[in-house]
Structure formats: structure tokens, C-alpha cells
Structure 1
């Protein structure tokens, strides 16, 4: 081709002008029925021929001669309007690309874009159904056109358009979670209401995928971190199972601070839900040892003592248990200002439950004397009397 051989810009321009003139002359000839075609007796038939020629012209303008997009779009649009169903699939890609360009530049209105896009899509859908020889080419070209017009369509079309457009995609690929999510998000972005039947249908399908995904993700995370399973099981009220998972997490963990957190969580379950006070205290003390300056384990132990005080014998021994609880609360706030409020509330609540002075004297004890609380607590406390 002489156009490809020359490097002279002026000569190239002359070649292009000549080729464009020949396309226009051929289209004009068909338009005025200057060529009599056998079996072509109607205006629509000759318009189809005009559109066919203009489609070829637009293709060359876009791919071969890299002409301005406004000129390509104008020619491609005319080809689509003239040829209608007689178009070639090759018009779609230049059309989609140049329309998107012209629309973004404000040279094509929403109304014009909406009208010509719908026409191009109807042509493509018709030929996909009826043109068996070129069906796959129509499908590929339509996909590319839709991709180029994706942003334009979102601005010029409403919910009903996207419902119609996305219904075949959803019906074909509803077993693909990514497709289902794309359809749902697009419909909502285009203003489809929550109670729209199609939105509700797609949303229902998506929830199945989401639930399955979340379950698999949870299973995977819990397998890697048993403490997550322990937390979930505790929330579900399955405290025995939760405690076993925390034990597994403790055995697997090497980081001291994380292990301390797991020990504390296990102690809290053993105390509050399993009535395993001695085990709970042991684990709380282990947690405190691993994480220096942490007051929460001591608050927890104090709560164990105060809660179990009434089961520790007579009134005297019950009040000794309260002293042990108070000692833990005081210690907690002395090492960890972060728990001071919790500790002070408990101290205020139980300070009036210290042993009575007359009971101490009757037993031969003096204030400041160190004695054993007895009961399961077995702590040594400095005797203080209630005022």
C-alpha cells in the first residue's frame, strides 16, 4: 500500500483524503441508488449498504489512519443508524471508544449517548442471535464496547437499564461469587431500591456466598489461632469448649504478653462459668507473672475471693476472705493505674465488710496481726477491723 511506503506527511494526507473521498463516493452512490443491486429494492436495504461502507470507513479512520475521535465517532454513529442490523461487528469497538471520549469531553449529551448505545446494543444482540458465522466476533466486540462505555453507562442509564443488561449475566454466572457481587453492587449504585425483586434475589444469593466465605475464613483463622475459637465459643455460652481452646492457644503461644492475655481469658471463664476457682487463680497468677505491672489478674482474683466469701465458714472467716479480696484490689491499683477506678469501686463496696473488732478480741486477735484466711483461699492477711 502506497500510504505505508511513504514518509512524506503531505503525501500521506493526500492518500488519506483520497481514501476518505472514495468511501464517501461509494456511500453516496448507494444512498442515491446509483448502483442497482439484485434483490435490494427498498430504502432500508440501500441504507444498509450505506451503513456498511461507513462502518468500513470508520474502522480505517480509527485503526489505520488514527484520525480525530470526533470524526470517527460521527462516522461510526451514522453507520450504526443507517445499517442497523446490517452492521458489521467491527463498528462496535471504535464506536465504544470514541463515544466514551466524546462524552467525557462534553461533546455528546446524555440523551444522545443513551439513544445510540441502546441502538448499538440491540444490533449486537440481534446478530449474536442470528449471525451464526460471526456470533463469537459479535460477542467479543460487544464485551469490549461495554467495557469502554462502562463509566458512560453509569451516568446516562437508570436502574431498569442495568437490570435488563445484567440479568443474562447473573442468570448465566450466579454460581460465581464475584459476578454476583458485581451485579448487586452495580444495581445498588444505579439507584435500584432495596425492595426491588431483582435486587432482593441477587442479594439473597450473595448472602449465601458471604456466609460461606465468612465461615471458611473463620475456620481458617481459628485453626491458626485457637484463642479466636475460644472467644467465639465463650460468646456462644460453650464454656468448656472455650476453655479447651484457650488451653490450646496457651500451649502454642511463645509471646509472653499474648500468652498472658490467653491465661487471663481462661481464668475468667473458669471463675465466672465453670466454678473452678483454684484453677482460675493459678492461671490469673501465671498471667500476672508474664505481664509485669498488669492489675487485671489481681482484680479478678479479688473478685474470686469476694464472691466465694460467703461459702467460707462462719461470719469471722467470711470477713477474713474479704480482707484477702481487698488486699488484691489494693495491690492491683498500686501496680497498674489503669485499673484504679475498678479497684476503688470494689474497695468502697467491701471495706465495710472487714472483721469486727469485738469478734477479733473474743478470738484473741489484735489489729495488725497476720493470720490465715482458711477456706480454699488460704491467704495470709494482716488483720484490720471495720470502723
Structure 2
């Protein structure tokens, strides 16, 4: 990274005396500071979260008195996300760089603190690689560093990493190797990964092998020349579509995908346009093509996956009722799949965040988390493969459900096991949920 401006370094990292500070701010108790950190983190108020959480990565406490569920590893990763999130919103490149430097420092501390946590290392390498990619404009050699992190993740779990993100990350890693002219290294990775790769990823590997002998620019020029002779050559269009995407020629990739769709608006080409829209956060366009692909899908599993993608697009747009509707639809197409129930849990959790925007959460808001936990439990019950994800999410929500004291002072007092309605009787903003849970 470039050197920080002296004044900026002073403002963000303060003096060496401040760097030594490992206690919460303003004389607060650790539990109180942590609670404020977590609430602000959850609401994406990242600057406030940093204010109340900075002491955690400075002091690295393994425990917090009065809260047995505290996990340092989890909160260090949250803090890295906090500083990255602050960086995203800053306009000044030097300020962005400063906050990213802190996020990366936290990752370094995580690796140093837990040298034997190999499963965590795998996820941390991927997360750190994403940070380098996302903030490439202010990080020197960001693409190289991202690829180095992805390569470490691949070495740890080659099968899992090969298909992670539908092969996106291994393609990023290989593209960087090819760009650095590391021919033997790229070929070795593809050879190791190929037994685990899907047909789509294998096809990408074949294209990359071609790139090792011809530069992408030369290959694109050649294929574009072929296309002039036959503008409707499907195979050439598909090869160009992949090359444009790999080279981040976004406009040409979109036009080529559109051309393939116009030539043959089949399920595959319609879904390709939907996936392109999703990858570029164009939620309305994604929904349009996903709904069209739904009408062309022949298998219930395909319809379930498309329904969940539609739900996710609506969730990104904060259209929570529509997000729930399509998550429910996904569960009907595949009732042994736990992901739709996790999605509904996420929808209701986002409802709390939306309803409490600009104010503090109280016991009425916390009660909604009971039904969030209901759906998480249902996901695990119907689909054991979701157990680890459910457990991770449940650990976040269980501590913020109403306390015994809050249940006692409810009017009338709430008793464990009795039915409880989540609707407008809590607040108007929860009226659309209209579901029944149980006090716990």
C-alpha cells in the first residue's frame, strides 16, 4: 500500500498511547461496549461500530465478563468487515486506503492469533482475497494479492474451492497466474482441480489453456474476426462471452449474452442473462429474466433455485413481502431443501433492521427474532446440510431475543411456551409478517 498521509494517520490511528489502549471507550464496561458494537454492526452503522469495537482488535479479549457467547474470532472478522465497509463509503482515496489498511491488519492478527485454526484460515483467505479485489483502486498489486489468497485457500481445500462461487474464484486466480505468465503453475492448478470441476468450469479451463499460448487480446481479435464472417455462430459467441467476462469487458459481455438470447432464448441463455444481471446487482433486470427462465425450466429443482434467486433479488431491493413469497415458492418446489427457510429467516431479520432504522431496538423488536429462529430450526430439520449455517446464524440471534426481565414486564407478562403473534399488535411495520411463534 502507499504510505498514509501523516495527518490522516494521526486522525485514524491517533498516537502511540492510543494504540496501546485496549479498554472500551468512555470508561464503558466491556459488555456494554460490545453490545453497542454489535447493534451498530448489524445495522451497518460501521463508523459507530468501529468506535465501540476498536478495543476488541486492539486488546484481543477471548472472553467478556457477563456474556458467555462472545467469540473473538467471529468479532474480529466482523471488525474487518466494519473497516472495509467504512472504506467503501469514503471518497478520498487516502482515507479509503487507511481504513482498508486497518481491515487487513485485523486479518493479519487473526492469522497470528489462531495459527492452528485451519478451517477458519480457508474462509479468511477467501474473505481477504475479496477485500483486495473490492478495493483494488487503492491497494497496490491488489489482483496479485487476491490471487495469492485464493491460491492458499485452494491448496487447503482444492475440491471445495474449485466449485466455490460456481468457479468464479478459481477463474480469478488462474486469470492472474496467466496474466503473470505463470504457465506451469496455472496448468498444475487446472490439473489438480479438474477432477472436482463442473462441466462449465472445465470449459473455462479449456479456454484458459488456450490463453496460455495466445494472449486474450489476440484470441478475442481472432474470434471477432470469425464472427464477422458468421455473426450467428453460436460456438464463437459463447467463447467470446466467456472471454469478455473474464477480461471484465462488461459491455461487450452483456451485448454478447443478449445476442445469444436473441438467437435462441432457451433456458440456458435466459438464465445467463439473469446471472449477468445478478452479478452486476441489477436486481430488476435479474428478476425479469429469472421469471422468464422459470417458465422455461423443466425440473422442480431448477424452479426452486430460480425462485430463491428471485427472492434474493427482492431482498436486495428491500421488498420483503416479495422476497418471502418467492422463498416460500422455492420451498414448495423442493420441500427437502433448507435454504428457502433460511432465506425467510433472513427476510424477517432484515424486517427488524428496517423497522428499527433510526431508533434503538426494544423488546417488541426482539420478539421477532423468535420467528427467525423458528425458520432456522425448520431449515435444519428438513435439511441437515444446513446445520452449520443455521448454527452460525442462530448464535447471532439468540442473544438478542427478549430477556426474562423483558418478558416479565410485558403487559401481560409472557410465559415460555405460550403462543405469540408477530403482527401489527407489535408495530405496524410487522403487520405483514402475520405469523405465530412461541415465547422462549
- The alignment's TM-score, normalised by the length of structure 1, stands at 0.45
